[in-house]
Chains A and B, each alone.
Chain A
Amino acid sequence: MGQDERLDAPLIHSGEWKIHYDYAVGETATRFFLHLRDEGKIAGKKCPSCKAVLVPPRAYCERCFVKTEEWVDVGPEGTIEAFTIVYEPFDGLPPPPYVVAYVTLDGATTAMANFVTGLDLSVPEVAARELAVGKRVEAVFSDEREGMITDFHYRLK
């Protein structure tokens, strides 16, 4: 066919799918979310074998491979394990800046992520020093709760 300068800009055909999912939360996480919404408390489940308190709760302990039965309230205070401060916007994420951190709540074995609020984020290095791994935080509960993980966030002690 010879040279065809139209091929300098090959065609692009766009595609877009809007796919809706209805995720079953399950009885274990439902109890966690309802306890959070109605009592303003965070609970984990304790493994009968290794005694680990899994937060967020799991219906089973993957390590021991047994069902978990016992509920344990944890927190509201805890310790930062890891964090970041997001300064750039991303598709599908909230407008920056914001902080997300993994926190091990007192009485829990595993860390649970959430936003950390109440900090001045204007100077990254200063905010990061405030947020250092090992710092203590407290879970703060929203007044209007809807049974979602966003019903609480962390705040530095």
Chain B
Amino acid sequence: MVKRVGILGAGHTVFAERRDDVRLEELVFEAASAALADAGIVRADLGTVVMAGADQLDGRSISSMMTAGPAGAYLKDEIRTTTEGSYAAILACLRILSGEYDTALAITWSKTSESPYDLISSLSYDPFYLRPLAFNDVVESAIVSSTYRNLTPQLAEAAAAVVVKNRGNGSLNPRAFLRERTSREAILVSPYVAYPIRSAELPRSCDGAVALVLASEERTLSSDRPPVWIQGFGWGTSDYGYKGETAAGLAGLRAAAASAYAMAGVTRPESEIDFAELSDATPFDELLAYEALGLVSQGTGANFALEGGSAPGGSCPVNISGGAQSTNLRFAAGMMRILETYLQLGHRAGPIQLAAPRQGLAHGATSYPAQGHALFVLRNY
């Protein structure tokens, strides 16, 4: 049987629209030192450091040259991935499971106040067939959403319900950046940015960094704190073919879920998963994920949201933390989903603590919409 990885501690920075009080490296130091303190270990105890960062957003090439030090990696083994933030946790898990390391710090950051995010996202596109047209993250997100919309007439109401739910949840979360509720009416009168996405459905970005301290099973069991495990994880990438239903089917997330569930022994996610922290850069992403993750049956995701199934007190509360709708860490959003899931399972979530959660999901999605997905199954038993 494959061993499992435990989480020893987690930390994050103060979130703000602009963190002009710190340079990028200092932001990284803030999160790394908070995570080490929470885990009750010092830098010397760390086996390896795994970072996730994007040079084009950081405005420095090989930005990890500068962030490795403040991440705790000075003269230590370190590696970086440039995929979405939560992929740092995947790579850290793999390094621990290799048996080479007992502990790992996984860290990611997003300081998008310094750079033109939308313009940078246009750079991802093929320079011959796509760039001369008009693409960026938001446009592509809207295109994916259009394929789902076709299948579900009540999608606009469901999308508004997701934003109202997540912003309401965030208003109670002391860690959230935006702590303001919104209303169905405010969303449905807001103008379209790119149909079907409305301006009030795109959350304001914030600057911040998030870190986890991960450890081997043995090392986790030696900690004083009750363990929280990454029982399973997986990742996957969707096809680029844009056959309507394939895009809305989030094949990449289905693949990630298949491997994470198999590793964790989850066979009936709709009853075995108590809560989930899902990628909600737009509410359509969250709705699509309900179905791809098997939390509800095919074609019922919008109804699930409208009937309160994903609300606090529902059968599977989703983004009880407020999600990215309340703390839009963009590149680092997925890692924040893991942190919030971890705190819930350790009964340390504060005012938003669920009664007795045993198993939850954390999901990260690449900024290139709905293509790359990382999924984590966390449990406390």
Contacts and interface: CB of A to CB of B under 8 A. Distances in A.
Interface of A: 7, 9-10, 12, 15, 21, 23, 25, 29, 33, 56, 81-88, 90-94, 98, 100-102, 104, 109-115, 124, 127-128, 132-134, 148-150
Contacts of B119: 90-92
Contact of A149 (B129, B147, B150, B241): B129
Interface string B229-257: 00000000000011110010000000000
B192 A124 contact: yes
Interface string B196-217: 1101000000000000000000
Given A87-B191, A134-B150, A82 B143 contact: yes
B59 A86 contact: no
A81 B128 contact: no
B132 A81 contact: no
B97 interface: no
Given A29-B128, A110-B241, A132 B143 contact: no
Contact of A113 (B20, B130, B145, B247): B130
Contacts of B313: none
Given A90-B136, A93-B139, A132-B150, A81 B244 contact: yes
B333 to A, nearest CB: 20
Contacts of A148: 132
A150 B133 contact: yes
B99 interface: no
B368 interface: no
Contacts of B194: 84-88
B128 A86 contact: no
Nearest to A112: B129
A82 B244 contact: yes
B24 to A, nearest CB: 13
B29 to A, nearest CB: 16
B218 interface: no
Contacts of B192: 85, 87-88, 124
Contacts of A7: 21
A23 B133 contact: no
A100 B139 contact: yes
